[in-house]
Amino acid sequence: MTHDAIIIGGGHNGLVTACYLAKAGLKTLILERREIVGGGAITEEFHPGFKCSTLDHTPGPVAQQVLSDLNLLGHGLEFITPDARVLSLTEDGRALCIYNDTQRSVSEIEKFSAKDAKRYPEFIDSFAKIGAVLAPILSLTPPSIDHPTANDAWQFGKIGLAFRGLGKTDEYRLLRWGPMAVADLVAEWFETEVLRATVAARGISGSFAGPWSAGTSLGLLLQAALDANPIPPATFVKGGMGELTKALAAAASASGVEIQTNAEVIRIDTNEANEAKVVLSDGRELKARAVISNADPRTTFLRLVDPLDLDPNFLLKMRNYRASGTVAKINLALDGLPKFKGVDDEKKLAGRIHIGPEIDYIERAFDASKYGDFAKEPYLDITIPSLSDASLAPQGKHVMSVQVQFAPYKLRNGDWNSRAQEFADTVIEQLNRFAPGLKDLVLSGQVITPLDLEQTYGLSGGQIHHGEQALDQFFTFRPLIGWAQYRTPLKRLYLCGAGTHPGGGVTGLPGANAAREIVKDFKAKRV
Ligand SMILES: Cc1cc2nc3c(=O)[nH]c(=O)nc-3n(C[C@H](O)[C@H](O)[C@H](O)COP(=O)(O)OP(=O)(O)OC[C@H]3O[C@@H](n4cnc5c(N)ncnc54)[C@H](O)[C@@H]3O)c2cc1C
C-alpha cells in the first residue's frame, strides 16, 4: 500500500477532496482517466488560436471557504466579472439586460414594464435573504435518517433560528416555493415574459424538466443559496475554466498530492479487510486504506464495482437513480463579433446571453426531449468570453460558447453519431435568427453531444450534474436515501463528486464536505 487514499477522477471535486485530505496528513493519489485534470472545468484549444471553457461557462460559484482554505488566488486563479449579468433576447428584436447592479437592471426592466421594475428589487432582496438562510445547508453533511447525531440537531437548530429571523413573509415564501413549478413562481412576480423566462431558466439548468414541471423552483432556490441571486452569474475565470482546475491541481501538488493522468480505473475492489484496491486499464493494481470516487454514482456502482459486492436492494435503487442528460454544448470560433438584434452596446454581450424569450418557448424545447428529439427551437445559454478575456481568441475574433437545452441522451430516431451535424445546423440557424449574419462568421465549431459527454468526459447518461437534481435526489436523498453522508455500503469506498450533496455546479462543496467525513473516519480509525 503506497497511499492512504486514492481518488478516482481529477474533476474539481476530486481535486478539492485531495487538497483537504493532504492537508490532514493523508498521502493521497489522484487517478484521472483523461490526459488532463479538470472534468467539466477545462479549457481547450478547439481551433488554432481559439480556446474556451470546453464544457462549463462559469463557476458555480466556488465556495468562499474553499477559495480561501486552498489559497486558489495565490495559485494563479483570477476572476473576471463584467457589469452585465444576462442579456435576454426576444423574438421582436428587443433585448433586456440584467446587470449585477440592481438599480441599473431596474432602469432596463422599466423599458418593458413599470410594474416589474418596481417589484424587481424586492424579488432580488427576498432571494438574497432566503439564500443566506439556505447557504449553510450546502456545507453540511446531510443527516442520517436512521441515526441522526447530536451535531445534526445542533446544525439544524442554527438553521431553524436563521429561518425564524427571515420574518413571516420570506419564511412563508421559502416554505411555499420549493415544490412549486418555477413558471408559477415567476408569474407571481412579473408580467414581462422575457423576464419570467430568464429567471425560470435558472431553475431548470441541466434538468430533465421544463419550467412547468413541479419542483423546479427548488433549482432556483439552490442556486440562490450559492450566490444569493436568482439571476444566473456571469463571473468568468481568466483563461477559461481550466485555469480554475489548474490552480486546484497546483494547490494539490503543493500539499503533496500525487496526480496521474491517462490513468483509468476499471475496477474497485474492497473485499480485503484492511485495504481497498483499484485496477487500472493498463493492468496496474493500486492499494490504499480508502478509495474515493469522483466519478458519478452510476459509473461508480454500476461499472466499477462488482455487482456481487453490493446488496441487491442498493443496486436496484442505484439503477433507478435518474441520470439522463438533456444538455449539449457547441463552441464556435468566430471571425468577428456577431450583431444581435436590438443590442445597442456590445458591453451588454459580456455576461450571459439568453435565447429563450418566453416560458412557453422553453417548455416547448423541453417537450421535444420528452419524446426523444432535440428541440428545433432550443433554449440557448450563451457566452462570448473573449469579449472580456483577450487570451481566448486572436485580436478581432471571438469564441462563442453555447449550452443547448434540450438535447436528450436517447434519441427516438437515429442516434447522436448520425444526427450531430443536423443538430448543430439547427442551433446555428436559431442563433442566426437572433444575430443575422452570424452563420457567415463561423470559422469552425466543436459539437459536444450528450453521447460525447458520456464517452469522452465520463458522465453517465450525459447528465451534466452526475444525476438529475430534483426533490427526490436532493440533500438526504443524494445520491440515495441512507447514503448521503459520502460513505457507501462498501466500508472503504467513498463518493466526493457532484452526485453527492449539494450536487452539480463548480462549487467545490461536495468535495470539501466529503473530505471532512473521510478525515473523520481516518481519525476514528474506521478505515
Ligand atoms: C456541458 C456542461 C456545461 C456545464 N455548465 C456549467 C456551468 O456553466 N457552471 C457550473 O458551475 N457547472 C456547469 N456544469 C456542471 C459541472 O461541470 C459539474 O457539476 C462539475 O464538473 C462536477 O464536478 P466533479 O468534480 O464532481 O465531476 P467532473 O467534473 O465530472 O469530474 C469527474 C472526473 O472523473 C474522471 N473519471 C470518471 N471516471 C473515471 C475512471 N473510471 N477513472 C479515472 N477517472 C475517471 C472524469 O474524467 C472527470 O475528470 C456543466 C457541465 C457540462 C457537462
Please calculate the CA angle 77-83-88 and round it to the nearest 5 degrees.
115
Atom of ligand 1 nearest to the CA of 31: 43
DSSP 315-362: HHHHHTS-----EEEEEEEESS----TT---GGGGSSEEEE--SHHHH
CA–CA distance, 444 with 170 (Å, rounded to integer)? 48
Highest mean pLDDT among 149-153, 214-218, 514-518: 514-518
Element (H, E) at 265: strand 265-269
Cα 309 to averaged position of ligand 1 atoms, centre (Å): 26
Q: Is the C-beta atom of 6 inside 6 A of ligand 1? A: no
Is 265 a pocket residue for ligand 1 (Cβ < 6 Å)? yes
In the predicted model, is pLDDT for residue 337 greater than 90? yes
Q: What is the pLDDT of residue 145?
A: 80
Ligand 1 binding pocket includes 514 (Cβ within 6 Å)? no
Grid look-up 490513468 returns 263
Q: Which atom of ligand 1 approaches the CA of 507 most closely?
A: 11
Q: How far is the CA of 315 from the centre of ligand 1 (A)?
A: 23
Mean pLDDT of the 200-208 span: 94
Our mutation pick for probing the ligand 1 site, out of 85, 464, 465, 509, counting the most ligand atoms within 8 A of Cβ, is 464
Distances (CA, A) of 363 to 26, 222, 480: 48, 21, 28
Is pLDDT at 511 greater than 80 in this prediction? yes
Residue nearest atom 29 in ligand 1 by C-alpha distance: 39
Reply yes or no on whether the pLDDT at 223 is more than 90: no
The answer, yes or no, to whether residue 250 has pLDDT greater than 90, is yes
Q: Give the Cα separation of 467 and 473 in Å (integer).
A: 8
Which residue's alpha carbon is at the smallest distance from atom 10 of ligand 1?
505
**170 CA → ligand 1 middle, Å:** 34
Q: How confident is the model at residue 155 (pLDDT cuts 50, 70, 90)?
A: confident
Q: Give the DSSP letter of residue 301.
A: I
pLDDT of residue 453: 98
Whole-angstrom distance, CA of residue 256 vs CA of residue 19: 8
Answer whether 135 contacts ligand 1 (Cβ < 6 A). no
- 352-355, strands of its sheet edge to edge: 95-99, 84-89, 352-355, 379-383, 398-405, 327-334, 442-448
**For residue 1, is pLDDT > 80?**
no
Instruction: Specify the pLDDT at position 227.
Output: 87
Indicate whether residue 294 lines ligand 1 (CB < 6 A).
yes
Confidence of residue 325 (pLDDT cuts 50, 70, 90): very high
Task: Give mean pLDDT, residues 136-154.
Answer: 86
Give 151 Cα–ligand 1 centroid separation in angstroms: 31
- Whether 54 and 46 have beta carbons less than 8 Å apart is answered as yes
Distance 1 CA to ligand 1 centre (A): 28
**Ligand 1 within 6 A of CB of 41:** yes
Least confident of 43-52, 144-153, 177-186, 285-294: 144-153
Q: How confident is the model at residue 513 (pLDDT cuts 50, 70, 90)?
A: very high
CA distances in angstroms from 65 to 69, 108, 225, 248, 383, listed in the order given? 6, 34, 14, 14, 27
CA dist 188 → 109, 192, 226, 333, 524 (Å):
16, 11, 23, 40, 51
Amino acid letter, residue 305:
V
Assess whether the C-beta atom of 462 lies below 6 angstroms from ligand 1: no
Distance 56 CA to ligand 1 centre (A): 9
3-state DSSP assignment of residue 3: strand
Q: What is the mean pLDDT of residues 428-456?
A: 97
Q: What is the residue whose three cell numbers read 429567471? A: 199
Look at residue 229 in the predicted model and tell me its pLDDT: 87
Instruction: Report the share of the chain in percent with pLDDT over 90.
Output: 88
**Cα atoms in the Cβ-side hemisphere of radius 13 Å centred on 65:** 15
Distance of CA 139 from the midpoint of ligand 1 (Å)? 19
Q: Which three cell numbers stand for residue 71?
A: 489559497
Q: Left if phi > 0, otherwise alpha if psi is -120 to 50, otherwise beta: which for 464?
A: alpha
Euclidean distance between CA atoms 449 and 418, whole angstroms: 11
- Indicate the average pLDDT of the chain: 95
**How many angstroms does the Cα of residue 464 sit away from the middle of ligand 1?**
7
Pairing mode, strands 28-31 and 258-260: parallel
CB 502 within 8 A of CB 61: no
**Phi, psi dihedrals of residue 168, rounded to the nearest 5°:** -60, -45
Residue 149 confidence (pLDDT) above 90: no
Pocket flag, ligand 1, residue 96 (CB < 6 Å): no
* Residue 120 CA to ligand 1 centre (angstroms): 34
Does 156 score more than 90 pLDDT? no
The response to whether residue 88 sits with its C-beta less than 6 Å from ligand 1 reads no
Other C-beta atoms lying within 10 Å of the C-beta of residue 431:
24
Residue 106, H or E segment:
helix 102-110
Distance 133 CA to ligand 1 centre (A): 27
- What 3-state class would DSSP assign to 480? coil
Q: How far is the CA of 254 from the centre of ligand 1 (A)?
A: 23
pLDDT exceeds cutoff 90 at 81:
yes
Q: Cis ω on the peptide bond leading into residue 148 (within 30° of 0)?
A: no
Distance CA 108, CA 454 (A): 40
Closest residue by CA, ligand 1 atom 30: 39
Label residue 228 by pLDDT band (50, 70, 90).
Answer: confident
**32 CA distance to ligand 1 middle (Å):** 12
Ligand 1 contact via 277 beta carbon (within 6 Å): no
| Pair 373, 411: CB distance under 8 Å | yes
Ligand 1 atom closest to Cα of residue 510? 26
Identity (one letter) of the amino acid at 139?
S
User: In the prediction, which pLDDT does 222 show?
Assistant: 87
Mean pLDDT calculated for residue range 317-321: 97
Please state the atom number of ligand 1 nearest to the C-alpha of residue 37.
49
Q: Look at residue 349 and tell me whether its pLDDT is greater than 80.
A: yes
- Euclidean distance between CA atoms 487 and 495, whole angstroms: 6
The candidate with the shortest Cα–Cα distance to 50, out of 384, 336, 394, 389, is 394
Helix then strand then coil, % of the chain, to nearest 5: 40, 20, 40
CB 435 within 8 A of CB 338: yes
Residue 163 pLDDT > 90 = no
User: What's the pLDDT band for 371 if we cut at 50, 70, 90?
Assistant: very high
